Structure 1
Amino acid sequence: MRFRDLKNNNKTKNIQKQTNRKAHYAKTSLRIKAFITDLFMIYAPILYVITYIFMGGKDEFQESNLAPFIGVSLYALIYSLLVGKFGQTPGKKAYDIKIVDAKTGQLLGFWRSLCRFVMFLFSAAILLGLMTQLYRKDNRTLHDLICGSVVIQDTKL
C-alpha cells in the first residue's frame, strides 16, 4: 500500500471519529468567564498601550473618537487570528472550550471568525442576540447562528 493511501485512510478515520462523537456544548457560565479572561488578557493591554504610550494619558484617550475604535479593531484582529487558527483564545483555552463550524466540526478560519466578531458586537448592542443561548439546547447565540458556528466543550480523547 502506498504512503499516500495510508495517509488518506487515516484522515477518513479521524473524520469518522469526530462525526461519531457527540458534541458537548459549552455552558453559558464558561463562555462568560472566558470572555472576561480575554478582556483582561488581550483587550486591557491593547487599551493600556494606546492610552499611555501612543496617546500620552487618559485625558487624551477620553477626548479621542478614534482611539477606542482602533482598540476594538486590534482586538478583533487578534481574536479572529486566534479563533481562525486554533479555535480558541486564551480565555477559551483556560476553560477548555472551542469555537468550531456547526456542521463539520472544523475550525472557522480568519474571515468567518472576523464576521463572527462583528456579529457579536451587533448581538451585544441589541442584547437580544446574547439572550438566545438561554432558550436553545445547543447554547448558540445570534452571532453563532448567523456565522454557522458553535462553542463546544473541548474534551480530549
Structure 2
Amino acid sequence: MAKWRDVKQNRAKKIKAKTVLQSSSNFVPLFTRFKAFLTDFFLITTPIVYIVFYLIMGGGVEFSQNRLAGWAIILFTVLFIIAIFWLKNGQTPGLKAYDLKLVDRETKSRVTILQVLIRYLITLFSIILFAPLFFAYFNKDRKTIQDILSKTDIVNEKDAIF
C-alpha cells in the first residue's frame, strides 16, 4: 500500500486489476478454423488420397471397382495421422499455422483418444450431411457440433495449459 504523500505527489504505482477471462474470450473465429481445416485437407488428406488412388489401388478403374475399400483406407489413415497430431500436442499442421490448439473443454489440457474418435466421426458425419456444418452459426457460443459432442474446444495456443 502506498503512502499518502506518494499518492498525493503522483509517485505511487497504480495497480491495475486483472480481469478473469471467460470462455467467450477464447473464441476462435469460424473462418480461422475453416482456414486451418483447409490447410489440413491439403497437407494431410490430399496426399493420402493420391497415394491410395494411384499407388495402392492402381488407378481410377481399380478404385471405382473397390470404392468401399479405398475410402476405408483413406479415412482410417487420415484418422490415424490426425489422432497422432491431436494426442501428441493438440495441433495438426493447420492448427499450428494459425496458433490454435485442440483442448479438453474442462481442463484445457490434452484430449483423450475417445474424444479424438468422437470428434473425427462427428466431423465426418457433418461433412457428409453438410447441414451440421452450419450448427455453429445458430449456437451462441459459436461451438460446432463436434466441439459440443466431444467436449473439446479449439483455443488460441496461449490459452492452452500444455
Report the TM-score range of the alignment, normalised by the length of the smaller protein.
0.7 to 0.9
| Amino acid across the alignment from 1:108 | V
Alpha-carbon distance in structure 2 between the residues aligned to 1:102 and 1:139? 14
1:119 to 2:133 alignment: no
Q: What residue number does 1:90 align with?
A: 93
* Counterparts of residues 1-157 of structure 1 (less than 5 Å): 21-23=21-23, 24-65=26-67, 66-155=69-158
Q: Which 10-residue stretch deviates more, 64-73 or 131-140?
A: 131-140
Q: Over residues 61-86 of structure 1, what are the superposed CA-to-partner deviations in whole Å (9 max), with x where a residue is unaligned?
A: 22222101210111011111211221
| Amino acid across the alignment from 1:126 | L
Alpha-carbon distance in structure 1 between the residues aligned to 2:129 and 2:147? 15
What TM-score, normalized by structure 1, do the two folds share?
Answer: 0.79
**Matched residue count:** 138
Alpha-carbon distance in structure 2 between the residues aligned to 1:36 and 1:115? 20
| Amino acid across the alignment from 1:28 | L
Alpha-carbon distance in structure 2 between the residues aligned to 1:34 and 1:149? 16
Alpha-carbon distance in structure 1 between the residues aligned to 2:154 and 2:133? 13
Preserved contact between residue 118 and residue 149 of structure 2 (Cα < 8 Å): no
What 5-or-longer segments of structure 2 have no aligned partner?
1-19
Alpha-carbon distance in structure 1 between the residues aligned to 2:64 and 2:34? 27
Q: Identical aligned pairs, as a percentage?
A: 31
Q: Over residues 40-98 of structure 1, what are the superposed CA-to-partner deviations in whole Å (9 max), with x where a residue is unaligned?
A: 11111111111221111122122222101210111011111211221110011111111
What TM-score, normalized by structure 2, do the two folds share?
Answer: 0.76
Compute the RMSD of aligned alpha carbons. Answer: 1.9
Give the C-alpha shift of residue 145 in structure 1.
0.7
SS of the aligned residue for 2:139 comes to: coil
What 5-or-longer segments of structure 1 have no aligned partner?
1-19
The structure that has the greater radius of gyration is 2
SS of the aligned residue for 1:155 comes to: helix
